[in-house]
């Protein structure tokens, strides 16, 4: 992020009251007027002066230097949230590139992603002129005919993967959705990743549906050294996913010990491969078919390493969206920033997902960086495909595999489409600070 574009006008003193309480005893949301005490800090009488990571230190103009020559001048993303990207109608497509090609070996989806030109030919990525929402779906890939080298029966479906043009190291990401894909063999996702440096730069799954699942989840995937074992229950309303029956690497015998998926390390031997740390909503009907029946909803992810957390919400139906968030979405289109309502997550109900990251936590913020938004619609693969016999019992009586079922172009795949009202990305204003 260009720090010069995030500079505010206020010059706060970045200090906090010194406390020896562990995080679990002092879990209240942090405000920009009181950043948390951290290891990289200096005690002065009853206060702790916060020293941010080096990457946030900025050299300000000489005519704005302090009378206190020994003080550091900083720019920090600690101000109010400001809109940095509005993805709606035509602007939605401008924010993404179409990825063309096969799925990754790790995901192994039964689809080929097509470019923008092919998507228009197929009519699987377009703006609905009736309400300005965007639609993302797939098309059946028929068996290759003689002399036709453009398609392959083995690919299953032609689908869409959109990769964001902008990179992020933090932010507030809002998706207003009317319909999301669901059904046997269906695996849609809206997520953050730096795939060229995975898992070193991490992955955050904001919304991910698998087959008929109907409860929202948020998952973090990282290298070793990032876990959520000390996150207290009362900062969130959700719970953690579980890991049971993991085969022992030496004997192959399943370990039936019930464990919560609180380690984000993708190769944790006591969790499923690439399970990560997974927050699960306790409210039913927040994903898939039940969500669609309610007319969709709003998903939000806040990624804020300065204030040491990643938080996630889902509000469905739309009548449950808190007033501040509702007004944020309604006013985002104003060209004059003064006419927009800024999102303030501290005015909303508790999130269902809470992950502690950053200084003085069990997950340094360096595990998640330089990521971009991705929309994709996959089929079968290493997740939906592996769960075929578990989630699709009716279909499994007829078909041996997920691929065999999807290859028949079943009618239920007509429900496998995204209809998105808009995506709104906010970042905190950069404010000048003395240290």
Which among 158, 157, 38 has a CA at the least distance from the CA of 408? 157
Domain locations in the chain as residue ranges = 74-140+154-196+203-218+278-356+366-426
Residue ranges of the chain whose pLDDT lies below 70: 1-73, 143-155, 433-435
Structural element, H or E, at residue 390? helix 388-391
Which pair of structure tokens corresponds to residue 174? Answer: 């809002």
Which pair of structure tokens corresponds to residue 244? Answer: 């049971």
CB 254 within 8 A of CB 230: no
3-state class of 145 per DSSP?
Answer: coil
CB 300 within 8 A of CB 309: no
Which among 161, 266, 285, 166 has a CA at the least distance from the CA of 222? 266
Provide the pLDDT for residue 51.
38
DSSP string, 185-240: TEEEEEEEE-GGGTTTT-EEEEEE--TT--S-EEEEEBSSS-B-TT--GGG-S-EE
Task: State the residue for tokens 């009618």.
Answer: 411
Which pair of structure tokens corresponds to residue 419? Answer: 């209809």
Which among 9, 7, 5 has a CA at the least distance from the CA of 430? 7
Q: Hey, what CATH class is 74-140+154-196+203-218+278-356+366-426 in? A: mainly beta
Provide the pLDDT for residue 73.
67
* Torsional class of 380: left (φ above 0), alpha (ψ -120 to 50), beta (otherwise): left
CB 191 within 8 A of CB 164: no
Structural element, H or E, at residue 327? helix 323-331
Read off the pLDDT of residues 231-272 as tens digits, 9 standing for 90 and up.
999 999 999 999 999 998 889 899 999 999 999 999 999 999
Provide the pLDDT for residue 431.
78
Provide the pLDDT for residue 432.
74
DSSP designation for 142: P
Provide the pLDDT for residue 72.
64
């Amino acid at each position: 992020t260009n720090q010069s574009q995030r500079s505010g006008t206020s010059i706060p003193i970045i200090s906090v009251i010194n406390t020896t309480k562990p995080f679990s005893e002092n879990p209240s949301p942090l405000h920009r007027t009181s950043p948390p005490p951290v290891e990289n800090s200096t005690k002065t009488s009853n206060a702790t002066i916060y020293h941010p990571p080096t990457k946030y230190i900025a050299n300000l103009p000489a005519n704005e230097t302090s009378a206190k020559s020994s003080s550091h001048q900083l720019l920090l993303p600690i101000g109010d949230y400001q809109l940095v990207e509005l993805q709606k109608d035509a602007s939605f497509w401008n924010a993404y590139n179409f990825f063309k090609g096969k799925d990754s070996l790790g995901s192994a989806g039964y689809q080929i992603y097509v470019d923008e030109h092919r998507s228009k030919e197929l009519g699987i990525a377009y703006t609905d002129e009736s309400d300005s929402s965007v639609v993302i779906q797939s098309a059946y890939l028929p068996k290759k005919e003689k002399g036709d080298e453009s398609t392959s029966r083995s690919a299953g479906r032609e689908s869409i993967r959109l990769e964001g043009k902008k990179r992020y190291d933090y932010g507030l990401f809002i998706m207003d959705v009317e319909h999301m894909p669901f059904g046997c063999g269906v695996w849609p996702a809206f997520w953050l990743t730096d795939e060229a440096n995975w898992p070193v730069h991490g992955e955050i799954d904001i919304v991910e549906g698998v087959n008929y699942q109907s409860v929202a989840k948020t998952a973090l995937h990282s290298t070793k050294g990032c876990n959520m074992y000390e996150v207290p229950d009362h900062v969130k309303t959700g719970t953690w996913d579980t890991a049971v029956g993991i085969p022992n690497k030496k004997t192959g015998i399943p370990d039936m010990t019930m464990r919560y998926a609180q380690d984000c390390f993708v190769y944790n031997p006591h969790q499923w491969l690439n399970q990560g740390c997974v927050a699960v909503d306790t409210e039913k009907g927040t994903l898939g078919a039940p969500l669609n029946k309610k007319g969709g909803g709003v998903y939000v992810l806040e990624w804020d390493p300065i204030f040491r957390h990643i938080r996630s919400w889902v509000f469905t139906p739309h009548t449950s969206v808190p007033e501040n968030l509702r007004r944020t979405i309604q006013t985002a289109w104003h060209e004059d920033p003064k006419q927009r309502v800024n999102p303030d997550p501290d005015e909303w109900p508790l999130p269902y997902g809470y992950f502690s990251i950053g200084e003085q936590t069990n997950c340094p913020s360096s595990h998640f960086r330089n990521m971009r938004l991705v929309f994709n619609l996959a089929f079968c693969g290493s997740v939906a495909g592996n769960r075929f016999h578990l989630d699709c019992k009716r279909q499994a009586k007829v078909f041996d595999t997920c691929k065999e079922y999807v290859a028949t172009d079943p009618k239920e795949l007509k429900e496998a489409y995204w209809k998105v009202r808009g995506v709104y990305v906010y970042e905190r204003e950069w404010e000048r600070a003395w240290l």
